[in-house]
Amino acid sequence: MENRKLNPKYDVIIIGAGPVGIYTSIRLAKEGLGVLVIEEDLEIGKPRFCTGLISKEAFDKFSLPKEAIENEFYSAWVFSPLGSKVCLNSKKIKVYVTDRTRFDFGLYNRALDAGVKFLLNCFCRGIVLNNDYVQADIIFEGEPRTVRSEVVILSTGIKYHLHRNLGFAPPANFLDCSQIQLSGKAGEDIEIFLGNSVAPHSFAWLVPLKKEKLRIGISTRKDSPLFLKSFLNYLESKGYIGAEKADVIRRPIPLEPIKKTYNHRVLVVGDAAGQVKPTTGGGVYFGLLCADLAVQTVMKSFKEKDFSEKSLRHYEINWKKTIEFDLTMSIYLRKLLANFNDGQIEELVKFLSQKAVQQLIEKHADFNHHGRFIKELIKFPPFWKSFYQILATK
Ligand SMILES: Cc1cc2nc3c(=O)[nH]c(=O)nc-3n(C[C@H](O)[C@H](O)[C@H](O)COP(=O)(O)OP(=O)(O)OC[C@H]3O[C@@H](n4cnc5c(N)ncnc54)[C@H](O)[C@@H]3O)c2cc1C
Protein backbone atom coordinates (compact mmCIF):
# COMPACT_ATOMS: atom_id res chain seq x y z
CA MET A 1 0.00 0.00 0.00
CA GLU A 2 1.12 3.52 -0.71
CA ASN A 3 2.49 5.15 2.41
CA ARG A 4 1.90 8.93 2.27
CA LYS A 5 4.71 9.96 4.64
CA LEU A 6 7.64 11.60 2.85
CA ASN A 7 11.27 11.79 3.93
CA PRO A 8 12.83 15.27 3.99
CA LYS A 9 15.41 14.09 1.45
CA TYR A 10 15.96 11.04 -0.81
CA ASP A 11 19.12 9.89 -2.51
CA VAL A 12 17.41 9.79 -5.92
CA ILE A 13 14.05 11.06 -7.17
CA ILE A 14 12.79 9.49 -10.40
CA ILE A 15 10.09 11.35 -12.31
CA GLY A 16 7.90 8.92 -14.29
CA ALA A 17 6.90 5.34 -13.49
CA GLY A 18 7.01 3.79 -16.96
CA PRO A 19 9.12 0.66 -17.41
CA VAL A 20 12.37 2.64 -17.62
CA GLY A 21 11.76 4.70 -14.47
CA ILE A 22 10.60 1.71 -12.44
CA TYR A 23 13.45 -0.51 -13.62
CA THR A 24 15.97 2.23 -12.72
CA SER A 25 14.40 2.54 -9.27
CA ILE A 26 14.74 -1.21 -8.63
CA ARG A 27 18.40 -1.20 -9.60
CA LEU A 28 19.21 1.85 -7.43
CA ALA A 29 17.26 0.57 -4.41
CA LYS A 30 19.06 -2.77 -4.66
CA GLU A 31 22.33 -0.83 -4.55
CA GLY A 32 21.17 0.56 -1.20
CA LEU A 33 19.95 4.04 -2.20
CA GLY A 34 16.75 5.67 -0.93
CA VAL A 35 14.57 6.14 -4.03
CA LEU A 36 11.33 8.07 -4.53
CA VAL A 37 9.35 7.63 -7.79
CA ILE A 38 6.81 10.29 -8.73
CA GLU A 39 4.06 9.33 -11.21
CA GLU A 40 1.23 11.55 -12.35
CA ASP A 41 -1.09 8.67 -13.31
CA LEU A 42 -3.22 7.03 -10.66
CA GLU A 43 -2.50 3.50 -11.85
CA ILE A 44 0.72 1.91 -13.10
CA GLY A 45 0.73 0.80 -16.76
CA LYS A 46 -2.65 2.31 -17.68
CA PRO A 47 -3.81 3.13 -20.25
CA ARG A 48 -2.01 0.42 -22.19
CA PHE A 49 -0.73 2.24 -25.29
CA CYS A 50 2.21 0.05 -26.32
CA THR A 51 2.18 -3.05 -28.56
CA GLY A 52 4.49 -4.73 -26.05
CA LEU A 53 6.89 -6.52 -28.42
CA ILE A 54 10.00 -7.30 -26.41
CA SER A 55 12.68 -9.85 -27.30
CA LYS A 56 13.46 -12.93 -25.23
CA GLU A 57 17.02 -11.56 -25.15
CA ALA A 58 15.73 -8.50 -23.27
CA PHE A 59 13.73 -10.69 -20.87
CA ASP A 60 16.86 -12.70 -20.07
CA LYS A 61 19.19 -9.70 -19.85
CA PHE A 62 17.00 -7.57 -17.54
CA SER A 63 15.06 -10.38 -15.75
CA LEU A 64 11.73 -8.98 -16.88
CA PRO A 65 8.31 -10.06 -15.52
CA LYS A 66 7.33 -13.19 -17.46
CA GLU A 67 3.73 -13.09 -16.23
CA ALA A 68 3.17 -10.29 -18.79
CA ILE A 69 3.89 -12.52 -21.82
CA GLU A 70 0.82 -13.01 -24.03
CA ASN A 71 2.27 -14.78 -27.07
CA GLU A 72 5.61 -15.57 -28.73
CA PHE A 73 6.93 -15.33 -32.29
CA TYR A 74 9.87 -16.44 -34.42
CA SER A 75 8.71 -14.80 -37.67
CA ALA A 76 7.21 -11.66 -39.12
CA TRP A 77 5.58 -11.34 -42.55
CA VAL A 78 6.12 -8.11 -44.47
CA PHE A 79 3.52 -7.21 -47.13
CA SER A 80 4.20 -4.87 -50.05
CA PRO A 81 1.21 -2.81 -51.28
CA LEU A 82 1.74 -4.30 -54.77
CA GLY A 83 1.29 -7.91 -53.72
CA SER A 84 4.69 -9.38 -52.77
CA LYS A 85 5.39 -10.63 -49.30
CA VAL A 86 8.39 -11.90 -47.40
CA CYS A 87 8.82 -13.85 -44.19
CA LEU A 88 11.58 -12.51 -41.93
CA ASN A 89 12.86 -15.03 -39.45
CA SER A 90 15.93 -16.16 -37.66
CA LYS A 91 16.14 -19.14 -35.32
CA LYS A 92 18.15 -16.97 -32.92
CA ILE A 93 15.37 -14.40 -32.46
CA LYS A 94 12.37 -15.02 -30.27
CA VAL A 95 10.00 -12.15 -29.58
CA TYR A 96 7.28 -11.95 -26.98
CA VAL A 97 4.21 -9.79 -27.14
CA THR A 98 3.46 -8.58 -23.64
CA ASP A 99 0.58 -6.95 -21.85
CA ARG A 100 2.29 -3.67 -20.95
CA THR A 101 -0.05 -3.06 -18.01
CA ARG A 102 0.97 -6.38 -16.43
CA PHE A 103 4.59 -5.76 -17.48
CA ASP A 104 4.82 -2.36 -15.77
CA PHE A 105 2.87 -3.66 -12.77
CA GLY A 106 5.23 -6.63 -12.44
CA LEU A 107 8.18 -4.22 -12.30
CA TYR A 108 6.28 -2.00 -9.83
CA ASN A 109 5.78 -4.92 -7.40
CA ARG A 110 9.48 -5.71 -7.58
CA ALA A 111 10.31 -2.06 -6.89
CA LEU A 112 8.04 -2.06 -3.82
CA ASP A 113 9.79 -5.24 -2.62
CA ALA A 114 13.16 -3.50 -3.11
CA GLY A 115 12.02 -0.64 -0.86
CA VAL A 116 11.26 2.02 -3.48
CA LYS A 117 8.76 4.67 -2.36
CA PHE A 118 6.09 5.65 -4.94
CA LEU A 119 3.87 8.70 -5.09
CA LEU A 120 1.11 7.96 -7.62
CA ASN A 121 -1.37 10.57 -8.84
CA CYS A 122 1.40 13.07 -8.17
CA PHE A 123 2.48 15.57 -10.83
CA CYS A 124 5.98 17.04 -10.88
CA ARG A 125 5.61 20.57 -12.21
CA GLY A 126 9.17 21.81 -11.84
CA ILE A 127 12.73 20.92 -10.82
CA VAL A 128 15.09 23.34 -9.10
CA LEU A 129 18.80 22.55 -9.25
CA ASN A 130 20.77 23.80 -6.24
CA ASN A 131 24.42 23.39 -5.42
CA ASP A 132 23.72 20.94 -2.58
CA TYR A 133 20.46 19.27 -3.61
CA VAL A 134 17.73 19.02 -6.25
CA GLN A 135 14.19 20.06 -5.42
CA ALA A 136 11.12 18.64 -7.14
CA ASP A 137 8.01 20.81 -6.97
CA ILE A 138 5.05 18.45 -6.95
CA ILE A 139 1.28 18.54 -6.68
CA PHE A 140 0.26 15.77 -4.31
CA GLU A 141 -3.28 15.28 -2.99
CA GLY A 142 -4.18 18.61 -4.58
CA GLU A 143 -1.51 20.47 -2.58
CA PRO A 144 1.79 21.93 -3.83
CA ARG A 145 4.74 20.34 -2.01
CA THR A 146 8.49 20.01 -2.41
CA VAL A 147 10.78 17.00 -2.09
CA ARG A 148 14.55 16.95 -2.23
CA SER A 149 17.26 14.54 -3.35
CA GLU A 150 20.91 14.39 -4.36
CA VAL A 151 20.04 13.40 -7.96
CA VAL A 152 16.94 13.51 -10.17
CA ILE A 153 16.32 11.11 -13.06
CA LEU A 154 13.83 12.19 -15.72
CA SER A 155 12.03 9.17 -17.21
CA THR A 156 8.96 11.11 -18.21
CA GLY A 157 8.41 9.31 -21.53
CA ILE A 158 6.97 11.60 -24.19
CA LYS A 159 6.22 14.47 -21.78
CA TYR A 160 8.87 17.12 -22.13
CA HIS A 161 7.84 20.15 -20.04
CA LEU A 162 10.49 19.42 -17.38
CA HIS A 163 13.09 19.31 -20.16
CA ARG A 164 12.30 22.90 -21.04
CA ASN A 165 12.46 23.77 -17.35
CA LEU A 166 15.98 22.27 -17.15
CA GLY A 167 17.29 23.53 -20.51
CA PHE A 168 17.11 20.17 -22.37
CA ALA A 169 15.71 20.26 -25.90
CA PRO A 170 12.96 17.69 -26.67
CA PRO A 171 13.53 15.20 -29.55
CA ALA A 172 13.42 16.80 -33.00
CA ASN A 173 11.37 14.09 -34.72
CA PHE A 174 8.31 12.02 -33.86
CA LEU A 175 6.06 9.38 -35.39
CA ASP A 176 2.31 9.66 -34.92
CA CYS A 177 0.91 6.27 -33.78
CA SER A 178 -2.57 4.87 -33.24
CA GLN A 179 -3.40 1.44 -31.90
CA ILE A 180 -6.47 -0.65 -31.12
CA GLN A 181 -7.14 -4.13 -29.71
CA LEU A 182 -9.95 -6.16 -31.30
CA SER A 183 -11.29 -9.69 -31.54
CA GLY A 184 -10.21 -11.34 -34.75
CA LYS A 185 -8.15 -14.03 -36.37
CA ALA A 186 -5.05 -13.70 -38.52
CA GLY A 187 -2.01 -15.88 -39.12
CA GLU A 188 0.29 -17.08 -36.36
CA ASP A 189 3.04 -14.52 -37.00
CA ILE A 190 3.46 -10.77 -36.68
CA GLU A 191 2.31 -9.02 -39.88
CA ILE A 192 3.75 -5.74 -41.16
CA PHE A 193 2.09 -3.76 -43.94
CA LEU A 194 3.92 -1.19 -46.04
CA GLY A 195 2.70 1.28 -48.64
CA ASN A 196 2.05 4.95 -49.19
CA SER A 197 -1.70 4.63 -48.92
CA VAL A 198 -1.43 2.21 -45.95
CA ALA A 199 1.04 3.96 -43.65
CA PRO A 200 2.98 6.71 -45.44
CA HIS A 201 6.62 7.05 -44.26
CA SER A 202 6.27 4.10 -41.89
CA PHE A 203 4.24 0.89 -41.45
CA ALA A 204 1.14 -0.75 -40.02
CA TRP A 205 1.21 -3.86 -37.84
CA LEU A 206 -0.96 -6.67 -36.68
CA VAL A 207 0.05 -8.80 -33.71
CA PRO A 208 -1.99 -11.92 -32.86
CA LEU A 209 -2.59 -12.45 -29.16
CA LYS A 210 -3.98 -15.64 -27.65
CA LYS A 211 -7.77 -16.17 -27.54
CA GLU A 212 -8.41 -14.63 -30.97
CA LYS A 213 -7.46 -11.09 -30.08
CA LEU A 214 -5.39 -8.83 -32.33
CA ARG A 215 -3.34 -5.75 -31.49
CA ILE A 216 -3.45 -3.56 -34.56
CA GLY A 217 -1.52 -0.34 -35.00
CA ILE A 218 -0.16 2.18 -37.40
CA SER A 219 2.66 4.69 -37.39
CA THR A 220 2.82 7.59 -39.83
CA ARG A 221 4.12 11.14 -39.86
CA LYS A 222 0.63 12.53 -39.22
CA ASP A 223 -3.08 11.64 -39.23
CA SER A 224 -2.51 8.15 -37.79
CA PRO A 225 -6.19 7.73 -36.68
CA LEU A 226 -7.37 8.27 -40.28
CA PHE A 227 -4.89 5.73 -41.64
CA LEU A 228 -5.79 3.27 -38.88
CA LYS A 229 -9.46 3.58 -39.85
CA SER A 230 -8.80 2.68 -43.48
CA PHE A 231 -6.42 -0.13 -42.41
CA LEU A 232 -9.20 -1.56 -40.22
CA ASN A 233 -11.63 -1.38 -43.17
CA TYR A 234 -9.08 -3.36 -45.22
CA LEU A 235 -8.69 -5.99 -42.45
CA GLU A 236 -12.49 -6.24 -42.16
CA SER A 237 -12.78 -6.77 -45.93
CA LYS A 238 -10.23 -9.60 -45.61
CA GLY A 239 -12.25 -11.19 -42.79
CA TYR A 240 -9.52 -10.69 -40.14
CA ILE A 241 -11.82 -8.64 -37.91
CA GLY A 242 -15.55 -7.92 -37.56
CA ALA A 243 -17.31 -4.61 -37.07
CA GLU A 244 -16.45 -4.47 -33.32
CA LYS A 245 -15.73 -1.00 -31.90
CA ALA A 246 -13.02 -0.29 -29.32
CA ASP A 247 -11.03 2.70 -28.11
CA VAL A 248 -8.15 3.86 -30.29
CA ILE A 249 -5.11 5.06 -28.37
CA ARG A 250 -3.03 7.71 -30.12
CA ARG A 251 0.47 8.62 -29.02
CA PRO A 252 3.72 9.90 -30.54
CA ILE A 253 7.03 8.02 -30.57
CA PRO A 254 10.29 10.00 -30.48
CA LEU A 255 12.59 9.06 -33.35
CA GLU A 256 15.88 10.68 -32.42
CA PRO A 257 17.80 11.09 -29.18
CA ILE A 258 17.88 14.48 -27.48
CA LYS A 259 21.10 16.50 -27.76
CA LYS A 260 22.11 16.34 -24.09
CA THR A 261 21.02 13.84 -21.43
CA TYR A 262 22.86 15.03 -18.30
CA ASN A 263 23.33 18.11 -16.22
CA HIS A 264 24.45 18.97 -12.71
CA ARG A 265 22.48 16.41 -10.54
CA VAL A 266 20.19 15.32 -13.44
CA LEU A 267 20.07 12.44 -15.94
CA VAL A 268 17.48 11.77 -18.67
CA VAL A 269 16.59 8.16 -19.64
CA GLY A 270 14.24 6.20 -21.94
CA ASP A 271 11.72 7.89 -24.25
CA ALA A 272 12.44 11.10 -22.35
CA ALA A 273 15.94 10.94 -23.89
CA GLY A 274 14.67 9.66 -27.28
CA GLN A 275 16.47 6.32 -26.71
CA VAL A 276 14.22 4.48 -29.16
CA LYS A 277 14.93 2.21 -32.16
CA PRO A 278 14.31 4.56 -35.10
CA THR A 279 13.47 1.65 -37.44
CA THR A 280 10.50 0.29 -35.46
CA GLY A 281 9.87 2.85 -32.70
CA GLY A 282 10.41 0.20 -30.00
CA GLY A 283 11.84 1.88 -26.91
CA VAL A 284 11.75 -0.61 -24.04
CA TYR A 285 15.05 -2.40 -24.78
CA PHE A 286 17.20 0.71 -25.37
CA GLY A 287 15.51 2.43 -22.42
CA LEU A 288 16.44 -0.43 -20.06
CA LEU A 289 19.95 -0.71 -21.50
CA CYS A 290 20.52 3.01 -20.89
CA ALA A 291 18.90 2.74 -17.44
CA ASP A 292 21.64 0.26 -16.46
CA LEU A 293 24.26 2.79 -17.60
CA ALA A 294 22.52 5.59 -15.68
CA VAL A 295 22.62 3.43 -12.53
CA GLN A 296 26.35 2.80 -13.07
CA THR A 297 27.06 6.56 -13.30
CA VAL A 298 24.81 7.47 -10.37
CA MET A 299 26.44 4.85 -8.11
CA LYS A 300 29.88 6.18 -9.04
CA SER A 301 28.76 9.73 -8.27
CA PHE A 302 27.49 8.64 -4.83
CA LYS A 303 30.75 6.81 -4.14
CA GLU A 304 32.76 9.89 -5.05
CA LYS A 305 30.20 12.35 -3.63
CA ASP A 306 30.42 14.20 -6.91
CA PHE A 307 27.11 15.08 -8.60
CA SER A 308 28.59 17.63 -10.95
CA GLU A 309 27.81 17.87 -14.66
CA LYS A 310 31.36 16.65 -15.34
CA SER A 311 30.84 13.50 -13.29
CA LEU A 312 27.37 12.70 -14.69
CA ARG A 313 28.43 13.20 -18.30
CA HIS A 314 29.91 9.66 -18.20
CA TYR A 315 26.36 8.38 -18.53
CA GLU A 316 26.03 10.00 -21.96
CA ILE A 317 29.49 8.88 -23.05
CA ASN A 318 28.55 5.30 -22.12
CA TRP A 319 25.08 5.17 -23.67
CA LYS A 320 26.43 6.68 -26.88
CA LYS A 321 29.18 4.04 -26.94
CA THR A 322 26.49 1.37 -26.58
CA ILE A 323 23.71 2.45 -28.97
CA GLU A 324 24.81 5.45 -31.03
CA PHE A 325 25.96 3.28 -33.96
CA ASP A 326 22.56 1.52 -34.07
CA LEU A 327 20.75 4.84 -33.79
CA THR A 328 22.75 6.50 -36.57
CA MET A 329 22.47 3.57 -39.01
CA SER A 330 18.76 3.15 -38.28
CA ILE A 331 18.01 6.86 -38.67
CA TYR A 332 19.65 6.78 -42.14
CA LEU A 333 17.70 3.66 -43.10
CA ARG A 334 14.40 5.10 -41.88
CA LYS A 335 14.96 8.36 -43.78
CA LEU A 336 15.70 6.40 -46.96
CA LEU A 337 12.74 4.00 -46.67
CA ALA A 338 10.32 6.75 -45.63
CA ASN A 339 10.58 8.24 -49.12
CA PHE A 340 10.19 4.98 -51.10
CA ASN A 341 7.29 4.86 -53.56
CA ASP A 342 5.13 1.72 -53.74
CA GLY A 343 7.13 0.32 -56.68
CA GLN A 344 10.37 0.65 -54.70
CA ILE A 345 8.76 -1.06 -51.69
CA GLU A 346 7.70 -3.94 -53.96
CA GLU A 347 11.28 -4.32 -55.26
CA LEU A 348 12.65 -4.14 -51.71
CA VAL A 349 10.33 -6.92 -50.55
CA LYS A 350 11.39 -9.04 -53.57
CA PHE A 351 15.05 -8.36 -52.72
CA LEU A 352 14.48 -9.49 -49.13
CA SER A 353 12.91 -12.72 -50.44
CA GLN A 354 16.11 -13.78 -52.23
CA LYS A 355 17.69 -16.90 -50.74
CA ALA A 356 21.07 -15.24 -50.13
CA VAL A 357 19.39 -12.31 -48.32
CA GLN A 358 17.33 -14.72 -46.25
CA GLN A 359 20.58 -16.48 -45.24
CA LEU A 360 22.08 -13.10 -44.30
CA ILE A 361 19.03 -12.35 -42.13
CA GLU A 362 19.29 -15.77 -40.48
CA LYS A 363 22.95 -15.14 -39.69
CA HIS A 364 23.06 -11.47 -38.72
CA ALA A 365 19.58 -10.13 -37.91
CA ASP A 366 19.22 -8.81 -34.37
CA PHE A 367 15.87 -7.70 -32.97
CA ASN A 368 17.42 -4.95 -30.88
CA HIS A 369 20.64 -3.79 -32.55
CA HIS A 370 19.64 -3.01 -36.14
CA GLY A 371 22.89 -1.18 -36.95
CA ARG A 372 24.82 -4.47 -37.00
CA PHE A 373 22.50 -5.98 -39.62
CA ILE A 374 22.47 -2.81 -41.75
CA LYS A 375 26.30 -2.90 -41.75
CA GLU A 376 26.32 -6.54 -42.90
CA LEU A 377 23.76 -5.72 -45.61
CA ILE A 378 25.92 -2.88 -46.96
CA LYS A 379 28.95 -5.23 -47.07
CA PHE A 380 26.88 -7.90 -48.90
CA PRO A 381 28.04 -7.92 -52.60
CA PRO A 382 24.58 -8.23 -54.34
CA PHE A 383 23.18 -5.40 -52.20
CA TRP A 384 24.47 -2.44 -54.20
CA LYS A 385 23.24 -3.73 -57.59
CA SER A 386 19.74 -4.33 -56.19
CA PHE A 387 19.88 -1.06 -54.29
CA TYR A 388 20.48 1.01 -57.45
CA GLN A 389 17.73 -0.95 -59.24
CA ILE A 390 15.33 -0.25 -56.37
CA LEU A 391 16.21 3.46 -56.35
CA ALA A 392 15.50 3.65 -60.10
CA THR A 393 12.06 1.99 -59.76
CA LYS A 394 9.08 4.24 -60.49
C1 LIG B 1 1.57 2.59 -30.34
C2 LIG B 1 2.89 2.29 -29.69
C3 LIG B 1 3.41 1.00 -29.77
C4 LIG B 1 4.65 0.70 -29.19
N5 LIG B 1 5.13 -0.58 -29.27
C6 LIG B 1 6.31 -0.89 -28.73
C7 LIG B 1 6.80 -2.24 -28.76
O8 LIG B 1 6.15 -3.13 -29.30
N9 LIG B 1 8.00 -2.50 -28.18
C10 LIG B 1 8.74 -1.52 -27.57
O11 LIG B 1 9.85 -1.80 -27.09
N12 LIG B 1 8.29 -0.23 -27.51
C13 LIG B 1 7.11 0.10 -28.06
N14 LIG B 1 6.63 1.37 -27.97
C15 LIG B 1 7.44 2.38 -27.26
C16 LIG B 1 7.36 2.13 -25.76
O17 LIG B 1 6.01 2.12 -25.36
C18 LIG B 1 8.15 3.22 -25.02
O19 LIG B 1 9.45 3.23 -25.56
C20 LIG B 1 8.22 2.95 -23.51
O21 LIG B 1 6.95 3.01 -22.92
C22 LIG B 1 9.13 3.99 -22.87
O23 LIG B 1 9.15 3.82 -21.49
P24 LIG B 1 9.50 5.05 -20.53
O25 LIG B 1 9.50 4.49 -19.16
O26 LIG B 1 10.70 5.75 -21.04
O27 LIG B 1 8.29 6.07 -20.73
P28 LIG B 1 6.73 5.90 -20.47
O29 LIG B 1 6.33 4.47 -20.55
O30 LIG B 1 6.06 6.87 -21.35
O31 LIG B 1 6.55 6.37 -18.96
C32 LIG B 1 6.71 7.72 -18.58
C33 LIG B 1 5.88 7.99 -17.33
O34 LIG B 1 6.20 9.30 -16.83
C35 LIG B 1 5.04 9.89 -16.31
N36 LIG B 1 5.26 11.34 -16.25
C37 LIG B 1 5.60 12.15 -17.28
N38 LIG B 1 5.76 13.42 -16.85
C39 LIG B 1 5.50 13.41 -15.52
C40 LIG B 1 5.49 14.42 -14.50
N41 LIG B 1 5.81 15.70 -14.79
N42 LIG B 1 5.18 14.08 -13.23
C43 LIG B 1 4.88 12.78 -12.93
N44 LIG B 1 4.87 11.79 -13.84
C45 LIG B 1 5.19 12.09 -15.11
C46 LIG B 1 3.97 9.47 -17.31
O47 LIG B 1 2.68 9.57 -16.75
C48 LIG B 1 4.39 8.02 -17.62
O49 LIG B 1 3.75 7.10 -16.79
C50 LIG B 1 5.39 1.71 -28.52
C51 LIG B 1 4.86 3.01 -28.43
C52 LIG B 1 3.63 3.29 -29.00
C53 LIG B 1 3.07 4.69 -28.89
What separation in Å is there between the alpha carbon of 118 and the centre of ligand 1? 17
Which residue's alpha carbon is nearest to atom 22 within ligand 1? 271
Q: What separation in Å is there between the alpha carbon of 100 and the centre of ligand 1? A: 10
Distance, CA 102 to ligand 1 centroid (Å)? Answer: 14
Rounded distance from Cα 239 to ligand 1 centre (Å): 32
The whole-model pTM stands at 0.96
The pairing of beta strand 174-183 with beta strand 249-254: antiparallel
Cα 25 from Cα 15, distance rounded (Å): 10
**Dihedral sign from CA coordinates of 219, 223, 228, 231:** negative
- CB 348 near ligand 1, within 6 Å: no
Residue minimizing CA distance to atom 34 of ligand 1 = 16
> Beta-carbon neighbour count of residue 236 at 10 Å?
15
How far the first Cα of the chain sits from its last, in Å, is: 61
Which ligand 1 atom is the nearest neighbour of the CA of 272?
26
Alpha carbon nearest to ligand 1 atom 4, residue: 50
Report pLDDT digits (tens) over 286-310: 999 999 999 999 999 999 999 999 9
Block means of pLDDT (10 residues each) for the chain, 394 residues, are 74 98 98 98 93 97 97 96 94 93 98 98 96 96 94 97 93 96 94 96 95 95 97 95 92 96 98 96 97 98 97 98 95 91 96 92 90 88 85 87
C-alpha pair distances (Å), 127 with each of 29, 39, 139, 157, 270: 22, 14, 12, 16, 19
CA 83 from centre of chain: 30
Which pLDDT does position 385 carry in this prediction? 83
Angle formed at CA 187 by CA 56 and CA 357, multiple of 5 degrees: 65
pLDDT at 210: 87
pLDDT attached to residue 1: 43
For residue 283, the ligand 1 atom closest to its alpha carbon is 19
Cβ of residue 276 lying under 6 Å from some atom of ligand 1:
yes
Report whether residue 279 contacts ligand 1, using a CB cutoff of 6 Å. Answer: no
What was the pLDDT predicted at 134?
A: 97
Whether the CB of 107 sits within 6 Å of ligand 1: no
Ligand 1 center to 318 CA (angstroms): 22
219 lines ligand 1 (CB under 6 A): no
d(CA 362, CA 208): 23
Pick the closest to residue 149 from 132, 124, 166, 126 (CA basis): 132
Pairing of strands 262-263, 266-268: antiparallel
pLDDT of 381 reads: 81
Ligand 1, pocket-test mutation among 41, 120, 251, 284, most atoms within 8 A of CB: 284
Q: pLDDT tens digits for 321-371?
A: 999 999 999 999 999 999 999 999 999 999 999 999 999 998 888 899 999
